[in-house]
Every structure is written in C-alpha cells, then in structure tokens.
Structure 1
Amino acid sequence: MAEIVYPPVIKAALGLFKALNLKFRLEGTENIPSTGGAVLVSNHVSYLDFIFAGLATHPAGRLVRFMAKKEIFDNRIAGPLMRGMHHIPVDRQAGASSYKAALTALKGGEIIGVFAEATISRSFTVKEIKSGAVRMAVAADVPLVPITIWGPQRLWTKGRKKRLFQRGVPVTILVGEPMYPKRGDDYDKATEELQARMAELLERAQREYPEIPKADETWWQPAYLGGSAPTPEEAAELDAQEAAERQAAREARAAREVEESGS
C-alpha cells in the first residue's frame, strides 16, 4: 500500500508539536507489536485523539488505520487526508462494510485504531464500551492493545472553543499490555476487562499529570479529582439530549426532502 499522504502529515504534526512545545509522556510502547495486525483501542477526550493515539505506534515503526465516522470523510479538507492515509469510514447506519474493511486490513497485518466509546467522553472518564473491538480482534486473530490519552482535551474538546495553539501543554499517552481474546470466550467479560484496563490507565495518567488546572480552568479536570467536568451521570444525560436533538434534526430534514420532492 503506497504511503504518499501519511508520512508528510506525520512530519507536519510533529513539527507543529515541537513549535508548540507540547510536553509528551509516552510509556508502554513496547506493547505495540512490531509486525502483524492489532486492534488499538483508545479512550476519547478530544477531537485530536487520533493524532496522539497514532504517536503510540511510532517507536515500533507502525502506522494506524483509524475507524472514524463517515462525516469526517465528507469534509472537503479532512476527507482527502483521511482517505489518503487509508483510514476507514464508519457509517453508523450501515456498519457492515466498515467492519469488513477493518477485518481485511487486520488480516493484512495492519493496526486498526478504534475509539470504542464512540463519542468524546464529557466526564473525562472511560464510558461504557461495546464488544465490537473484542469481536474484531477475535475474528482477525490479533491482539487487542488498550491505550489512554490525557491532555489534548485542553486543546480542543466537545463544548469548548478550540485552543489549538496553546503552548506547553503536557500530553500523556500510556499503552497497556495486550489482551488476547479467543473464540469461545465471553465477549462481554472480555469487554469489561478491556474497559477496566483503560480506566486504570486513564486514572494513572490523570493522577500523575504534571499540572493541575487554574481556578478558571477546572473544566478539563474530572469531577472525581475535584474538577468541574460533568460527572459520568451528568455526561450521559447531555449525550442523550444531544442524540435526541440530532434525531429530531434528521427527521425534520427528511420531512422537508419529502415535501420538496412532492411539490
């Protein structure tokens, strides 16, 4: 597979990180397999997570093909880049094709990146995850590698203005030990273990983070550490409200299209 787009994108990102003096803590990279397929499962705290999650594989000389929502690929700027880097679009209304594409890539020796929480966690804790990542790893007979990211929410996250050029922000990336789920395992239990490992890694990253928020910046700290981010329960209510609003918008748009087609 020709890599025309990915290398220069990585080079540009690393140059920007250096210019912004981002302070990286990257641990556990020895857990990334040097060859063969793997499912890389990351938590989700910002719109930039795919960039930082991809950094976890660089010491091993690997690239990650991320599964990302189709809307990103429809964007006139991001779309060509995503396709050029051979990421995989996910249409939530028809997920079979993206699942098949991911399996093909895994069996071909690629690392597939998954944000199993599906959406950004407003509480900055690990949300409930589905068993899809486990099932994918089993189907392709590849390891499952949990990672967690902490810090990028300060640059750009849901409900907050972009602060992409903020300098000196610490970014923590922790890679956990691989899991090897097999056919016949209880996939729900394996998923619970995956979520627990991710939660443990994230809590360590948060507790060991080198900075604490200023009085007017507590929004980026989880509630259990004294921050003003929503609790998991409050975040779930916000997510449900947002989902309902999106559904209503889709229904209204469909109704308008029907009305216009009949006029």
Structure 2
Amino acid sequence: MSRIMLKATLGLLMRVLYRPRVEGLGNIPASGPVILAGNHVTFIDSLFMSLVVKRPVYFIGKDEYVTGKGLKGRLMAWFFTASGMIPVARDGGRGGVAALMTGRRVLEEGKAFGIYPEGTRSPDGRLYRGRTGVARLTLMTGAPVVPFGMIGTDKVQPGGKGRLHISPVTVRFGEALDFSRYEGMDRDRYVLRAVTDEIMSDVMDLSGQEYVDVYATKARAA
C-alpha cells in the first residue's frame, strides 16, 4: 500500500512539475524477470525510473538510508522502502556479493531489478566503464536486460545533492537484450566483460553521453 500511495502522490507531483518524457516504455516486459540497466548521474535517478515504469522496480541502496533515528530517520526509511530500495551493506567485498545475491533473488521471484553498471554516480556527467555484476546477473538468471538512458536529472539536482530545480527529464528505454547464448558462462571473465560492454554501448547510445573507458570510482578518486 505504501508503494501505491507514494507513486500516486509523489508521481502526480513529479509529472506536473517535470513532465518527464518517456521513450521505449513498451520494451519492458509486462511480467517476468527483467534487468533495467542504465546510467547514473544523480541521486534521484531511481526515483524517476520507478515513477515512469508501470511495474514495481527494485534496486539496491545503502543500508544507511533506512537506519536513521528519530522522525527523520523513520520517514527516510519509509520513503526509500516504498520506492523499491532494498538496503544492503555495500562496503568491501562482502557488500558486492550481497548486492549480487539480492539482485538474483529479486529476479528469480520474477520481478524487475534496476541496476547502474557504473557502480556509482558519474563524477562529471560522462558515462564510465561498467562493472560486470550486471552480466553475471543476466547469465545466472536468464533475465533479459533492457538498457536505459537517463537524461536531464543532472539539471534537476546539480551536483547530485541539494534542492531540486525544475528542468526537463527524458528516460529512454532500448530494446531488450538477450544473452542466452552465453548460458553457463557466468564465470568466464571475457564473456562477462563482452556482455557488460554491449550493455554499456546501448546505454551510451540512449543517453548521448561521452564514454570513458575507466571505472567511475577511479575517476572520482583522482
């Protein structure tokens, strides 16, 4: 009920203020497991994605978003949980495994799972090299991958934080990608890299971003 309430109230407000343009929505299967993989430019990307997609979309988020204390903490926990976030402690190697297994469980339950292959928000608006977790998920579960490009959210929330600005937003979904030809090869690092690069190539075409063949975390640290 909380998810329906959030989508009805906040969704209406966002549509009135931002009038998001959606392209290729019909490429998302109406039922069954599907991976939505796209670029990540600001904190509110997941919110826009959840609002424009008709079926519920689940995604991984930091557990600190739901562990706050007091009224503010409870409100944040309700908001993120209602918007489809599954909290996972993502620090270190165990965090990566936990996120992967959580995504696998969501897909095996026949749900839609949203993922940002870059692993973190872009530090400068460009598209960075994808991590291979998305490839492992599609090969382990057989779920198709629908790439998407989020355009304009960096203008809504410049710098990824602070107050929101009124600016046009477009979400483009590409045709579903089927990687069943690689079944049983989810531990082959060359296959994983090839699958990930194919997904990121489609994301680049959809978002119109400049591509940088390094990981975003390394670029952010530099």
Give me the TM-score of the superposition, normalised by structure 2: 0.82
Contact 2:129 2:213 in 1 (8 A): no
The match for 1:72 is 65
Shift, 1:88, TM fit = 1.8
The match for 2:220 is 239
Shift, 1:84, TM fit = 4.1
Contact 2:6 2:82 in 1 (8 A): no
The amino acid across from 1:190 in the alignment is V
The amino acid across from 1:162 in the alignment is G
Contact 2:56 2:84 in 1 (8 A): no
**1:137-177 Cα deviation digits (max 9, x unpaired):** 11111101110111111121436x6341x33x211100011
Show structure 1 runs of 5+ residues with no match. Answer: 207-221, 225-230, 242-263
The amino acid across from 1:197 in the alignment is D
Shift, 1:29, TM fit = 0.7
The match for 1:9 is 6
**1:28-58 Cα deviation digits (max 9, x unpaired):** 0111001101111121111110011223422
User: How many positions carry a matched residue from both structures?
Assistant: 206
d(CA) in 2 for partners of 1:86, 1:54? 8
- Match of 1:170, SS state, is coil
d(CA) in 1 for partners of 2:51, 2:84? 16
Show structure 2 runs of 5+ residues with no match. Answer: none
d(CA) in 2 for partners of 1:238, 1:190? 23
d(CA) in 1 for partners of 2:174, 2:219? 30
Indicate the structure (1 or 2) with the bigger Cα radius of gyration. 1
Shift, 1:240, TM fit = 0.7
The match for 1:109 is 110
d(CA) in 1 for partners of 2:135, 2:219? 27
Q: Which has the higher contact order (CA 8 A, sep 6+)?
A: 2
1:127-166 to structure 2, matched below 5 A, reads 127-158=128-159, 162-164=162-164, 166=165
Shift, 1:15, TM fit = 2.4
Rate the CA distance shift 1:86–1:24 in 2: closer, same or farther, 3 A.
closer
Identity %: 27
The amino acid across from 1:42 in the alignment is G
The match for 2:194 is 189
Q: Aligned match of 2:175 in 163, 174, 177?
A: 177
Backbone CA RMSD of aligned residues: 2.5
The amino acid across from 2:220 in the alignment is D
In the alignment, is residue 126 of structure 1 matched against residue 130 of structure 2? no
**1:204-247 Cα deviation digits (max 9, x unpaired):** xx7xxxxxxxxxxxxxxx8x9xxxxxx998x7766115xxxxxx
